[in-house]
A and B are shown apart, each in its own frame.
Chain A
Amino acid sequence: QKEVEQNSGPLSVPEGAIASLNCTYSDRGSQSFFWYRQYSGKSPELIMFIYSNGDKEDGRFTAQLNKASQYVSLLIRDSQPSDSATYLCAVVPQSSGTYKYIFGTGTRLKVLA
């Protein structure tokens, strides 16, 4: 079992819709969770992080964490064509003494105009 799993996509949504991206992780003791956006040919950029169970909102983005079920989600409201990118989930396992991130392989999102 991979440590961090994401559906590779592509996930296609119409402009203005809600895009829902999911990530599951295997280390039950994981404490820190991050979402990165990566445009084609560019490097990843951090868009959200969450440490506690529940929801965290930032503008059109909401991160949701459910530690009991070991998944973290990213919701993008009012999706725009500029949101089309690959979204990487990253987890810091409990076993990591420092911030040694484990990345998923990413979900490609396509927002259709």
Chain B
Amino acid sequence: DVKVTQSSRYLVKRTGEKVFLECVQDMDHENMFWYRQDPGLGLRLIYFSYDVKMKEKGDIPEGYSVSREKKERFSLILESASTNQTSMYLCASSLRGRAFFGQGTRLTVV
């Protein structure tokens, strides 16, 4: 079974904090993704990576950055958290087009 693991299930952070969300996959997938999911807006792509140190902006990259130093790990960084970044964050990795999601991190910024 493919395993995609996100470091935290729930997080509460203060406005202005730098926030790190970590994601690890164990199946040697090249493609990894970060999405956020909000009611009525669906899944929106923040960033994706198609190889180590390679990244591409998604639809809503503002306020976020990513890091992929190793193939199995893809990190999402909120440079200065704001209340409008309160959301469910989902990491995924994909093989031959089939995406597998982590359990999600519900981030609340207060």
Docked-complex contact A88 and B31, CB < 8 angstroms: no
Count A-B pairs with CB separation below 8 Å.
Answer: 49
Query: B87-110 vs A: 1/0 string, CB under 8 Å?
Result: 000100010011111111000000
Min CB distance, B108 to chain A, in Å?
A: 15
A103 at the interface (CB under 8 A from B): yes
Name the one of B42, B94, B100 contacting A104, with C-beta atoms under 8 angstroms: B42
Residues of B close to A44: CB separation below 8 A: 43, 90, 101
Name the one of A43, A49, A106 contacting B101, with C-beta atoms under 8 angstroms: A43
Name the one of B31, B90, B98 contacting A43, with C-beta atoms under 8 angstroms: B90
Question: In the docked arrangement, what's the CA distance between A8 and B43, Å?
Answer: 14
Q: How many residues of B contact A (CB 8 A)?
A: 22
Interface size band for A: 20 to 34
Min CB distance, B7 to chain A, in Å?
A: 14
Residues of chain B at the chain A interface (Cβ within 8 Å): 31, 33, 35, 40-43, 45, 48, 50, 56, 58, 90, 94, 97-104
A100 at the interface (CB under 8 A from B): yes
Residues of chain A at the chain B interface (Cβ within 8 Å): 8, 32, 34, 36, 42-46, 49, 88, 90, 92, 98-101, 103-106
Question: In the docked arrangement, what's the CA distance between A44 and B97, Å?
Answer: 15
Question: In the docked arrangement, what's the CA distance between A46 and B98, Å?
Answer: 7
Docked-complex contact A101 and B45, CB < 8 angstroms: yes
Docked-complex contact A92 and B42, CB < 8 angstroms: no
Question: In the docked arrangement, what's the CA distance between A8 and B41, Å?
Answer: 11
Min CB distance, B107 to chain A, in Å?
A: 14
Docked-complex contact A34 and B99, CB < 8 angstroms: yes
Question: In the docked arrangement, what's the CA distance between A71 and B40, Å?
Answer: 21
With A43-B104, A88-B42 already in contact, 16 other A-B pairs whose C-beta atoms are closer than 8 Å: A32-B97, A44-B90, A44-B101, A45-B101, A46-B100, A88-B43, A98-B48, A98-B50, A99-B94, A99-B97, A100-B45, A100-B58, A103-B35, A103-B42, A105-B41, A105-B42
